[in-house]
Amino acid sequence: MDWEIVVGLETHTQLLTESKIFSGASTAFGAEPNTQASAVDLALPGVLPVLNAKAVEFAVRLGLAIGATISPRSVFARKNYFYPDLPKGYQISQYELPVVQHGTLKIAVEGGEKTVRILRAHLEEDAGKSLHEDFKGLSGIDLNRAGTPLLEIVTEPDLRGAKEAVAYAKALHSLVRWIGICDGNMQEGSFRCDANVSVRRPGAPLGTRCEIKNLNSFRFMEQAIEYEARRQVELIEDGGTVVQETRLYDPDRNETRSMRSKEDAQDYRYFPDPDLLPLVINEAEIERIRALLPELPQAKRERFARDYGLAAYDAAQLTASRESADFFEDLVRASRAEPKTCANWQTGEFAAALNRDGLEVGHSPVGAEALGALLRRIADGTISGKIAKEVFEAMWRREAEGPGAADAIIEARGLEQISDTGAIEKMVDEVLAANARQVEDYRAGKEKAFNSLVGQVMKAAKGKANPGQVNAILKKKLGG
């Protein structure tokens, strides 16, 4: 009998505010240690936190984007624990009354779509960092990150298996960047996930979960969940039981290791922070923020499928990011070509070239205008689709730039398609004369011989003869 893998994800997203959630210090990444820690971040006596309105706006933006309830009143709480990178001795978070509750996110899964329930999203401050390198027998503390605003987004245990968990994480990653609340930089820790994993027999109640902390790449997430589920299944099949605990994933060994069990779990002694008033958000404010939201991925995906007649799969690929979706619409406009042709080029040649060079759409050497101009030259018969790929590669290498790049390269390389019937007839005659055997074979019913003859003519034309005309003229001359 099979096992079902159950996953719930908690994601910490760093909000793209310029200053911290309760102080005016900068949140820029990579500064010298402790140059961006104000008196508030250092927890000096007598200081008071002042809530950053932008962080609240970003939280509401996410809430609206996932169709959640925005709490009219939410409360900041103190989560008490001791750690060197936490000067106050508590983290300001939200506990019983988070700002966002009960949203959903749709993800693509095998054979369709799945709706993942998001239980809550709450605002909190990040802690500082302990530095262990460069210090012999000591640790350094960098409080630049202390007080950076985080939105922690928590799902219900709705995900089934590592692939679905990754699909959700990717969808959320795309969404937070789409709505401009997080830069999504996983290497710098702007988007980090904890995965709660349990296993059960289908239909059985939920099993005991283990929580894997701080997964900062999609690949590690997939490997960690797969490893952890296998570990739990083997444990149970050997007659053991899973104990609830926090585990760490070690990518070098591809395994998870116990960090602390539930028994050692801290009692955080949560209580409402007396330094902060409850956060009150009224309807007018919510509507103001709603009006500023861009068209969301789901809506754009549906519109692309409907208005451009694209397959759901193409629409999903093109709307993977806002930049990609904008590129597509610019391309359709610039090329005046069939949307399907544009989609094929963007998800084909163009995406492959980006991928090869590790580039984002926004940094492509070929813009939508330039690619559109190239597609126009296919449509008007100046070049074939095959030659267009050669021109595209030259454009990518910046042999020519700007909207006129395609024409310049076609001209410079003499790639213009031969559509002159007389010229093609002459080449066909020469090929037929030189290939009597294949002509005979064709007349004896061997269809393959025809393709070979087409190939010979195209070769003689250096690939530039109009393929439709070559076919028609050959057929005519062969009496077919």
Determine if 155 is a binding residue for ligand ADP (CB under 6 A).
yes
Q: What's the number of CA atoms in the CB half-sphere (13 Å) around residue 398?
A: 2
Determine if 157 is a binding residue for ligand ADP (CB under 6 A).
yes
CB of 194 to ligand ADP, least distance (A): 7
| Closer to ligand ADP by Cβ: residue 25 or 153 | 153
Determine if 247 is a binding residue for ligand ADP (CB under 6 A).
no
| Closer to ligand ADP by Cβ: residue 31 or 206 | 206
Q: What's the number of CA atoms in the CB half-sphere (13 Å) around residue 27?
A: 26
| Closer to ligand ADP by Cβ: residue 229 or 310 | 229
CB of 10 to ligand ADP, least distance (A): 5
Q: Which residues contact 396 (CB under 8 A, 6 or more apart)?
A: 353, 365, 366
CB of 340 to ligand ADP, least distance (A): 40
Q: Assign 428 to helix, strand or coil.
A: helix
Q: Distance between CA atoms of 223 and 340, rounded to whole angstroms?
A: 36
Per the CB < 8 A criterion, the answer to whether 26 and 18 are in contact is: yes
> How would you class 33 by CB atoms within 10 Å of its CB: exposed for 0-12, middle for 13-18, buried for 19 or more?
middle
Residue closest to ligand ADP, measured at CB: 8
Among 8, 63, 98, 184, binds ligand ADP (CB under 6 A): 8
CB of 388 to ligand ADP, least distance (A): 48
Identify the helix (H) or strand (E) that includes residue 192: strand 191-200
CB of 80 to ligand ADP, least distance (A): 15
Q: Which stretch binds ligand ADP (CB under 6 A): 26-34, 144-152, 155-163, 304-312?
A: 155-163
Among 88, 209, 300, 301, binds ligand ADP (CB under 6 A): 209
| Closer to ligand ADP by Cβ: residue 196 or 346 | 196
| Closer to ligand ADP by Cβ: residue 265 or 412 | 265
Tokens found for residue 378? 């296919």
Please choose, from the candidates 354, 352, 332, the residue with its C-alpha nearest in 3D space to the C-alpha of residue 342: 332
Kindly provide the b/e burial profile for residues 169-207, where b requires at least 16 CB atoms within 10 angstroms of the residue's own CB. bebbbbbbbbbebbbbebeebbbbbbbbbbbbeeeeeeb
Determine the angle formed by the axes of helices 467-477 and 447-460, rounding to 10 degrees.
Answer: 130
Determine if 206 is a binding residue for ligand ADP (CB under 6 A).
yes
Q: Which residues contact 223 (CB under 8 A, 6 or more apart)?
A: 162, 249, 251, 254
Among 131, 154, 408, 460, binds ligand ADP (CB under 6 A): 154
Site size for ligand ADP, by CB under 6 A?
15
Q: Which residues contact 49 (CB under 8 A, 6 or more apart)?
A: 21, 22, 23, 40, 92, 273, 275, 276
Q: Which of residues 90-149 bind ligand ADP (CB under 6 A)?
A: none
Determine if 6 is a binding residue for ligand ADP (CB under 6 A).
yes
CB of 125 to ligand ADP, least distance (A): 17
Per the CB < 8 A criterion, the answer to whether 210 and 228 are in contact is: yes
CB of 189 to ligand ADP, least distance (A): 19
DSSP 83-136: -TT-TTSEEEEE-SS-SEEEEEEEEEETTEEEEEEEEEEEEEE---EEE-TT-S
| Closer to ligand ADP by Cβ: residue 247 or 301 | 247
| Closer to ligand ADP by Cβ: residue 10 or 399 | 10
Binding mask 168-197 for ligand ADP (x = CB under 6 A): ----------------------------xx
Q: Give me the helices (H) in 183-276, please.
A: 218-237
Determine if 198 is a binding residue for ligand ADP (CB under 6 A).
yes
Among 85, 156, 326, 329, binds ligand ADP (CB under 6 A): 156
CB of 379 to ligand ADP, least distance (A): 50
Please report, as ranges, the residues that interact with ligand ADP according to CB under 6 A. Answer: 6-10, 154-157, 196-198, 206-207, 209
